[in-house]
């Protein structure tokens, strides 16, 4: 009798608290499914594009989605199967990976705060590449249009930054019909003409202000963050808490 009781206890014994086990399994499974969705969206967006410019590969939103999705899939898979099967090795891998990701995010946030000028320069290089490849990559085009519409800005420093783009370049030898122009996403809501941005790079700041938002997105982003510190803090906390 005692022998049977001891065997039953051995079979039901668990190194992990059942509540923690199923809680971890549920959230890991939830984020595992979400990671598959992210990878699927990234792959679909990548397949839909006929060509990819080599220089824009690392800033391609589709590639970024695929990489983030694959990393999430690996981490949540370890957590999900590790909790379900009580596999200590998978749980340790899950814990180590999640800790590494969390510390990386924390380091980026701290460095971004203390080295704000270098962070702004890095973001400026990213936006410059996005402007250069605006017509080459549909995802980058949609991303730039969304940013400019939401922040009511144009370019990184100001509207003349669009001269970085081959089609909007303001040099005399440019045969493009969009020469010295800016995208429609720079235009003010009151303007219904889709050609409102044509030729504005040749205008003064005050004249350009009548039809577009001449201020750069860098200034707008800083202003937005300063006026929405509570929201930024809540988003950062919302990102950190599930990992903790």
pLDDT in tens, 168-204: 999 988 999 899 999 999 998 876 677 788 899 999 9
Instruction: Looking at the structure, tell me whether residues 122 and 200 fall in a common domain.
Output: no
User: Domain span at residue 149?
Assistant: 138-225
pLDDT in tens, 106-151: 888 888 778 888 888 888 998 998 999 898 888 889 889 999 999 9
> What's the average model confidence in pLDDT over 6-16?
50
Contact by Cβ (8 Å): 182, 243: no
Q: Quick check: 16 pLDDT over 70?
A: no
Of 98, 127, 156, the residue that ends a domain is: 127
Mean pLDDT of the chain: 84
Instruction: Looking at the structure, tell me whether residues 108 and 35 fall in a common domain.
Output: yes
Q: Quick check: 240 pLDDT over 90?
A: no
Contact by Cβ (8 Å): 32, 80: yes
Cross-strand partners of 157: none
Residue 74, burial from CB neighbour count under 10 angstroms (0-12, 13-18, 19+): middle
The token duo for 222 is: 């800083």
Domain membership flag for residue 132:
no
pLDDT in tens, 216-231: 999 898 888 878 878 8
The three-class DSSP label of residue 99 is helix
| Structural domain count of the chain | 2
| 24 or 216, higher pLDDT | 216
> What's the average model confidence in pLDDT over 80-98?
87
The token duo for 175 is: 């045969």
pTM for this model (two decimals): 0.74
């Amino acid at each position: 009798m005692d022998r049977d009781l001891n065997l039953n206890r051995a079979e039901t014994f668990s190194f992990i608290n059942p509540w923690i086990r199923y809680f971890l399994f549920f959230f890991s499974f939830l984020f595992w499914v979400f990671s598959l969705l992210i990878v699927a969206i990234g792959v679909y967006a990548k397949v839909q594009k006929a060509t990819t410019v080599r220089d824009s590969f690392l800033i391609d939103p589709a590639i970024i989605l695929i990489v983030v999705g694959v990393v999430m899939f690996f981490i949540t898979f370890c957590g999900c199967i590790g909790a379900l099967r009580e596999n200590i090795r998978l749980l340790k891998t899950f814990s180590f990976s999640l800790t590494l990701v969390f510390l990386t995010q924390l380091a980026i946030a701290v460095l971004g705060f203390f080295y704000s000028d270098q962070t702004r320069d890095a973001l400026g290089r990213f936006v410059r590449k996005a402007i250069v490849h605006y017509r080459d990559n549909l995802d980058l085009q949609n991303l730039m249009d969304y940013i400019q519409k939401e922040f009511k800005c144009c370019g990184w420093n100001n509207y003349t930054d669009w001269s970085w783009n081959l089609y909007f370049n303001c040099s005399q030898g440019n045969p493009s019909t969009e020469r010295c122009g800016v995208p429609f996403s720079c235009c003010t809501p009151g303007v219904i003409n889709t050609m409102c941005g044509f030729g504005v790079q040749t205008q003064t700041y005050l004249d350009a202000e009548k039809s577009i938002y001449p201020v750069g997105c860098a200034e707008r982003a800083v202003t937005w963050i300063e006026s929405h510190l509570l929201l930024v803090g809540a988003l950062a906390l919302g990102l950190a808490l599930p990992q903790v």
